[in-house]
Amino acid sequence: MPKTIRIAKTAIDDAISTFSDLPAKAPADYSLREAIGQILPAINDLIKKGYNLDEISQLLTQKDIAISSATLKQYLRDFGKSKPKQSRSKPPVVTPDPIPDAVVSPEVSKPKAGKNPVVKDATVDKPASTEQPYKSPPKPGAEQFK
C-alpha cells in the first residue's frame, strides 16, 4: 500500500496566493478565427475606407495570415452575428379580463331535430376525471433496470 503524502495548509495557501498573483499568459499562436477576431477593428476600418474583401485578404496574406476572401467574409458574418441585434419592439398583447361566473348566462344548445333544447348551467364545474391514462405493461426483463 502506497504511503500517503501529507501537505501542510500553509504550503497550499502559499501556492494559491502565488498562482493568483501570476499574470495571464498570452498564447504563442492563434487559430485563424481567433486572429481575425483580434484584427477585426482594423479590418472594419479598412472596409470603411473602401477596401473590398479580396484586397483585405491579400493584405493579410502578405502579413503571414493566409485567408481567402470567402473565409474572411464568413468570419466577418460570424462575428457580426455575435453582436446582439436590436429588434423592433412589439406592442404588448392585451388580454380581456375574464367574466365572473355570476355574470355568465346559461348556454342553450340548439335543439336537434325532434328534441327539446337542453339548458346547461355555466356555474357548475365538471368533476375532474378520475381515469388514469393507459400505461403499457413493462417489458420482460425491464425490472432489473429500476
Q: Could you state, in order of their start, the residue ranges of all structural domains in the chain?
A: 32-81
Label residue 25 by pLDDT band (50, 70, 90): confident
pLDDT digits (tens, 9 = 90+) for 108-117: 555 556 555 5
Question: What is the C-alpha to C-alpha distance for residues 96 and 3, in angstroms, rounded to an integer?
Answer: 75
Give the residue with greater pLDDT, 131 vs 124.
131
Closest of 79, 82, 95 to residue 36, by C-alpha = 79
- What percentage of the chain carries pLDDT values higher than 90? 42
- What percentage of the chain carries pLDDT values higher than 70? 60
8: CB partners within 8 A, 6+ apart? none
Label residue 16 by pLDDT band (50, 70, 90): very high
Give the residue with greater pLDDT, 69 vs 134.
69
Q: How much is the pTM?
A: 0.44
Give the residue with greater pLDDT, 7 vs 128.
7
51-76 residues labelled b (16+ CB within 10 A) or e (exposed):
eebeebbeebeeeeeebeeeebeebb
